Amino acid sequence: MPLVRIALRRGKSAAHIKAIRDGVYAAMHESFEVPEGDRFILVSQYDADEFDYDPSYLGIERSDDLVIVQMTCNNTRGVPQKKAFYAAVVENLKANPGVRPEDVLINLVEVVKENWSFGNGIAQYA
């Protein structure tokens, strides 16, 4: 059910991008109990003049390797699951492709179940 959008600076290899997608999906599967095959991930790359961020907001020193992960998901998970998800994403991306923990920004957008249609004009979860 989650829809993931990943934003990063242009110039990363296909293998780097695949590792990010795989790491985020593994964290979703592990922490949010997303079923096998429930994988909808979009990656957008931006030129330097299109990718604006504060390099030290909240005292976290970010670099141009910043990866922004925004996930739209059902509003059914509590704070412990969310914290586990954030930690799993960071650990996965640190392990492969080597993204620094400071360079991972995650945002959840929570919606009610009837806000999804996976095809055929049907609200499958309503």
Instruction: Find the catalytic residue in 2, 55, 80, 97.
Output: 2
Burial of 106 (0-12, 13-18, 19+ CB in 10 A): middle
**2 an active-site residue?**
yes
Q: How big is the CA angle at 61 (ends 97 and 105), to the nearest 5 degrees?
A: 55
* Catalytic residue IDs: 2
